[in-house]
Amino acid sequence: MKKIVVIYILFVGLMAHAQKKDQAPNFKDKYYSLIDADSLMIHLNEVAILPKHKFSSRVDVRYYLWFKRKVYKAYPYAILAAKRLDSLNVRLDKITSKRKKKKYIKTVQSYLEKELTKRLKKLTRTEGRILLKLIHRQTGKTAFNNIKELRSGWKAFWYNTTANLFKLSLKSEYKPESENEDYLIEDVIQRAYINEILAYQEPKLKKEYRKIVSDRKGAINVNVYKEMFAKRKKKKAKPEKLKKVKKT
């Protein structure tokens, strides 16, 4: 991604953290039996089962695996973003001076730029788009609104205008119940949670994520990515044809 796109994603890297609290044991969720008047507790872990994937072809399987790698790459940054914003908000609540708040925000932004610039520059547009949607999932707010609250509406507007030049939008919302790409993201995430591949973090955008994935009954549609790469192949083929014509 271009350097200027990295800058606003880095700024959005100051995101929210929602940690799951410990709860008192609920014996209704456990099975137990009595042996000689002594209770023997057997705790059965919850087993989540999602519908088996339904692909139209083997090619679709490859595109899904390709997309899954994109989600795996973007997800940790969304988690980091969520944690950073939560830490930032806790700190800002303790600062009364507006001048000191602005100074602290700039200090954190500078630190993140030094730590993450090289890694974020390696993200592709698809990975950047996934990251922006996951930021909405984890923080409960779009990247645009996060920037608007921390800096200003004017800066958020220009950051978003720049993003649009690279076919990205800071206003991207996460809608797995209606948007196919978002559903694919959630399908990957939910299965990764079950297989303990991705670390779980409670999302602030509240939706029935497991049900959303289950309701689709494993149907996978990757046509948009197949079409995207087909168009790229055509564009590459045209210059080659022109070269051959010139030689003849």
Please give the pLDDT value at position 173.
94
Degrees, nearest 5: CA angle 53-136-218: 10
Please give the pLDDT value at position 27.
42
Please give the pLDDT value at position 239.
66
Please give the pLDDT value at position 158.
47
CA–CA gap between residue 34 and residue 54 (Å, rounded) = 45
Judge contact between 121 and 9, C-beta under 8 A. no
Nearest to 163 by CA among 182, 141, 144: 144
Block means of pLDDT (10 residues each) for the chain, 248 residues, are 45 38 41 45 58 93 95 92 83 85 77 69 86 92 78 54 62 94 97 94 95 95 92 74 54
Q: What is the phi/psi pair of residue 243, to 5°?
A: -65, -40
pTM above 0.85, yes or no: no
